[in-house]
Structure 1
Amino acid sequence: MVDRLTSMAVFVAAADLGSFAAAAIALGMSPQMVAKHVASLESRLGTRLINRTTRRQSLTEFGRAYHERCRLVLAEAEAADALAEAVRAHPRGTLRINAPVTFGSHSLVPLLTRYLRECPEVEVDLSLTDRMVDPVEEGFEAVIRLGPLVESSLVARPLAPYRLVACAAPAYLAAHGVPDSPDALAGHQCLDFSHWPRGRESLWRFSRAGTTVEAPAAGRLRINDFRALLEAALDGFGIVLGVETALRDDLAAGRLVQILPDWDAPSRPMHLLTMRDRRPTAKLRRFVDLILSEFGPDGSAVRAVARDRGPA
């Protein structure tokens, strides 16, 4: 199938240079191929564009008018290509991102504001949900996903695992004691993230030296928003199990104290998913670079958490 835009470019070259042979040399194709492109246009239009004899060629009256239109079309196509190159060379446009609620609100937003200050021609549309979205169907250019991945055509870049720690306010621990094992949590108010429907028991899993212990997260307060759980913990009402990066500032300031430091709380794999594109836009490339720098396996957020925790 002959490409119409290419045929227009060949026709313009033949008209400007005065012969099929000259156009063929300029375009790096055979005179027969030049003739094929011109014939394809004439067949599509139903009229002759060039009068041809063995000695010379000349544009028909319609050919002259069509020649000018083709010049305009080709110029617009060049401008469109230049725009695409500019978008790939300089961050601009709207970037649609999806992320889990807790990670997005506590950890991602500070990075996004830094990204927007650095890229003043970019707008960000961030959707926070714990639902598993379809990036293709829902139009997200970047998705941060927790948990194991399934087979897909998306590019998956590993981020630092989503590590959890158990902690409570000093006032709570002073009033109720510090649990010395996962089993001891049974006598405490565990502030539970109500991800599961009521009736299904929540279990907090801890491991040490290859042994895993499941402790029932019993408590009188269940909330489906981590910010609210954190407020309850800071108020001294109970023990919260949350992601390290979201708790880092409160732990460092002493507003919360980690419990069971000799036990490893659960962690979940986390990945950045993007579409497979050989030439991603500059806005996406810069976002990916920042995410990997901050939250990759060796990112600055991971190093900051390690410093807060001190040597193992």
Structure 2
Amino acid sequence: MKPNKLTVISAIVLVMALVAGCSTSNTGGNSNKKITLAYVAWDSEIASTYVLKEVLEQKLDYNVELMQVDAGPMWAGISDGSADAMAAAWLPTTHESYASKYEGKYDDLGVNLDGTKIGLVVPQYMDINSIEDLTDEIGASLDYTIIGIEPGAGLMMSTEKALDVYALREKWTLLESSSAAMTQQLEKAYADQKPIVVTGWTPHWKFAKMDLKYLEDPKNVYGGDEQIHTIARKGLQVDQPEAYAFLDAFNWTPEDMADVMIQIQEGKTPEEAAKQWVEQNRDKVDAWIK
């Protein structure tokens, strides 16, 4: 018997569907294993979030959706369940207001990176060492402007407080910007050896590329050294126990993070930089997912 045209066409469609299904499974993860990671567009959080994404997709077969938002919506998203997790909680100071506001509505999985810091940053060639040195002479050379980042960031809230505590509010302005725009202005001023004051944090690649310093904070507005915590939504441990266990185990060093940040800054995409770091640190990654 010769197969009729309808039978042949049906067979072809079936084969194409099977091939397409195999392709999706190999590249896109298991459709039943989905997770949404929220993050803020800080260079440090881009690095950590894309490493998490790489491990979840390539090692644990998850479909990962990334949600880039400001700090407030990031915490709100975890707390209301519209996002599953984030590795971008700067505690105890920077994100203290968000942690308190949503207390009891999220799981704190603990520290994923130790030894962070925030504050006002200037080039080493500037002859000032403290926030109290922001005199009229310095202010006039800077148009009384501090270059900030995204509005709503904990660092910006602390800097607004610093303007009041150090009696700078009357003349000085905190310019809302973005992390990328802030570093661009810093690099330009640094190249020309001009004065500039920016909101800064470590770990960040700018400290590897430029000779910078924090202004001393004698009134402790910015707090001391901090840690970055991983935060998960309530119920994730039950819904996605494998992902939850990995996120709970995730931890690395400022040097690890700097490796990824510098690769991105030098031209790699976040995906490429994360993939390279994961391939070069298999022992550490295996310890996270064992």
Query: Is contact 1:192-1:222 (8 Å) kept?
Result: yes
In the alignment, structure 1 residue 97 sits paired with structure 2 residue 53: no
Deviation of 1:178 (Å) = 1.9
Counterpart for residue 108 of structure 1: 48
Counterpart for residue 166 of structure 1: 120
Segments of structure 1 that go 5 or more residues without pairing to the other structure are 1-89, 207-211, 295-299, 306-312
Distance 2:158 2:121 in 1: 20
In the alignment, structure 1 residue 241 sits paired with structure 2 residue 184: no
Change (3 A) 1:161 1:226: same
Counterpart for residue 123 of structure 1: 63
Aligned with 2:244 (options 284, 289, 301): 284
Change (3 A) 1:139 1:224: same
Query: Is contact 2:183-2:206 (8 Å) kept?
Result: no
Secondary structure class of the residue paired with 1:234: helix
1:98-247 map, 5 Å: 98-102=38-42, 105-112=45-52, 114-116=54-56, 118-119=58-59, 121-130=61-70, 131-132=72-73, 133-135=76-78, 137-143=80-86, 144-145=88-89, 146-147=95-96, 148-149=99-100, 150-159=102-111, 160=114, 163-169=117-123, 173=125, 177-186=126-135, 187-188=138-139, 189=142, 190-193=146-149, 195=151, 203=160, 205=162, 214=166, 216=168, 222-236=175-189, 238-245=196-203, 247=204
TM superposition outliers: structure 1 runs of 4+ over 6 Å: 302-305
Cα deviations by residue, 1:84-104 (Å, 9 ceiling, x for unpaired) = xxxxxx997222011233266
Cα deviations by residue, 1:150-185 (Å, 9 ceiling, x for unpaired) = 432432233347521432345xx3xxx321321212
Distance 1:113 1:278 in 2: 18
Distance 2:133 2:103 in 1: 40
Change (3 A) 1:228 1:105: farther
TM-score (structure 2 length as normaliser): 0.52
Distance 1:104 1:97 in 2: 15
Change (3 A) 1:113 1:227: same
Deviation of 1:118 (Å) = 4.4
Distance 2:199 2:77 in 1: 29
Secondary structure class of the residue paired with 2:48: helix
Change (3 A) 1:115 1:256: farther
Query: Is contact 2:38-2:69 (8 Å) kept?
Result: yes
Cα deviations by residue, 1:51-109 (Å, 9 ceiling, x for unpaired) = xxxxxxxxxxxxxxxxxxxxxxxxxxxxxxxxxxxxxxx99722201123326654424
Larger RCO, structures 1/2 (Cα 8 Å, 6+ apart):
2
Deviation of 1:141 (Å) = 1.5
Deviation of 1:116 (Å) = 4.5
Distance 1:138 1:278 in 2: 13
Distance 2:158 2:241 in 1: 46
The more displaced of 100-109 and 229-238 is 100-109
Distance 1:97 1:155 in 2: 14
Query: Is contact 2:115-2:254 (8 Å) kept?
Result: no
Query: Is contact 1:91-1:121 (8 Å) kept?
Result: no
Distance 1:244 1:214 in 2: 23
Distance 2:159 2:119 in 1: 16
Deviation of 1:304 (Å) = 8.0
Query: Is contact 1:142-1:273 (8 Å) kept?
Result: yes
Percent of matched pairs sharing the same residue: 10
Distance 1:201 1:124 in 2: 32
One-letter amino acid of the counterpart of residue 235, structure 1: K
Segments of structure 2 that go 5 or more residues without pairing to the other structure are 1-29, 90-94, 259-290
One-letter amino acid of the counterpart of residue 164, structure 1: I
Secondary structure class of the residue paired with 2:118: strand
Cα deviations by residue, 1:35-56 (Å, 9 ceiling, x for unpaired) = xxxxxxxxxxxxxxxxxxxxxx
Query: Is contact 1:92-1:121 (8 Å) kept?
Result: no
Q: What do you get for the CA RMSD once the two structures are aligned?
A: 4.1
The higher radius of gyration belongs to: 1
